[in-house]
Structure 1
Amino acid sequence: MSSVATITNNATKAGNDKIYNPNSELDKNAFMKLFLKQLEMQDPTNPMDTDKMLEQTAYLSTMEMNTNMQKTIDTLSKTLTSSNQLSTVSAIGKMADTGNRYINITDDDTKKDFELYFGDNIQSGKVQIKDKAGNIVKEFELNPHSKGILSFEWDLKDSNGMRVKSNSYEISAVYTTPDGKQKTTALGAYPIESIRFENGKAYAKLASQYVPFEKIKEIYQWQN
């Protein structure tokens, strides 16, 4: 019979002094109470075997070590979580790319709103909407505008005024800066404006919405 079972049995014989352990788990406090009760109730003419006492004392030490180790692991986990949160905050001001270039059109949609980020001032250009085959189904002319996020509304009609089929469509833009440079941008690439934490999960504000950090494929510094 194991030492733990021996202590439990002796404690049961103690009578009215019961130790309440609803989960039937022997933690260090319960073990110590049982151990002391066994010493108290032992027969003076037949004391506990020294080897068994040493074995039970060693068991108690092991439980204490395990408890301390668990506390250390919990502290380390909290530290790593805090460190990860700080690393996400450091991404504010950088560019985030979700890799999602498409908007989905269903039969119930009557229009679709979307946003594009322009890292340079716009002199002229075009927003292009393409089908999955790469064909341009609609274009929006770009007038001179300062850099930043621009919002667009698509009535879901193609260049011929016909309602497009329900499908996924790629959104991108080509534009010229005031100094004549050719630039491109696409749906899904925006600067990180802020970071929000909910239930330990990080969300990045990209344009007008918050996106879970794990949805971001790439973070980089904007290059003019």
Structure 2
Amino acid sequence: MAVSDTTAASSASANAAAAAASATSSADIEQRFLKLLVTQLNNQDPLNPMQNSELTSQLAQMSTVSGIEKLNSTMSGLLSQSGASQVLQAASMIGYAVLSPGNELAITKDQATSGFAVELAGSAADVKVVISDADGKTVRTMEMGAMAAGVNGATWDGKNDAGDAVAAGAYTYSVVANNGSTVVKSTALSFSQVAAVKQSADGVSLELTAGRSISLSDVRMFL
């Protein structure tokens, strides 16, 4: 609730400031234009006065500038509202586990297995997952067989190649996918909990407990 109230207040304040700045800018432009126009009329050559077409053209230019100012103000307001909406959407994910690009696996005393996923750009006849410990030593090679294009879920049972349970700790994995002699592009996906939401000039990002920062577009699934 506090996040929503703060975001709404910030959005309203930003919109009000943008509107005030735009109004001041437009008013200044109109005042300067009218002052120049009056000066021009007062100092025109009596034998060669300004034609109606010239006056109409200058008034049209002022109208165009004013219209652009108002359009910019409207667009700024819409972008501000869009940013606030994204923050609220992202804040609703705090505390949830999301599946996103990453190769982290974790084994704990309370969790003897670890779920992950493999995303393939195309179907593959042979997919292999290699799991390594914190020192980079291979502890398990999993032959996954054939996989379809898209996101494919999988689970590591927490055992090494000898069939023994590995020690609790952090692990990583890599993927090799082939379709005959053709290498299929693959992306490792892992689950991590959303700890916080951050907004910057680049947009809204999710801060994960795994120590990574991802954008909303990186999320494949949340639980």
TM-score (norm 1): 0.49
TM-score (norm 2): 0.49
Query: Which of the pair is proportionally richer in helix?
Result: 2
Tell which structure's C-alpha radius of gyration is larger: 1
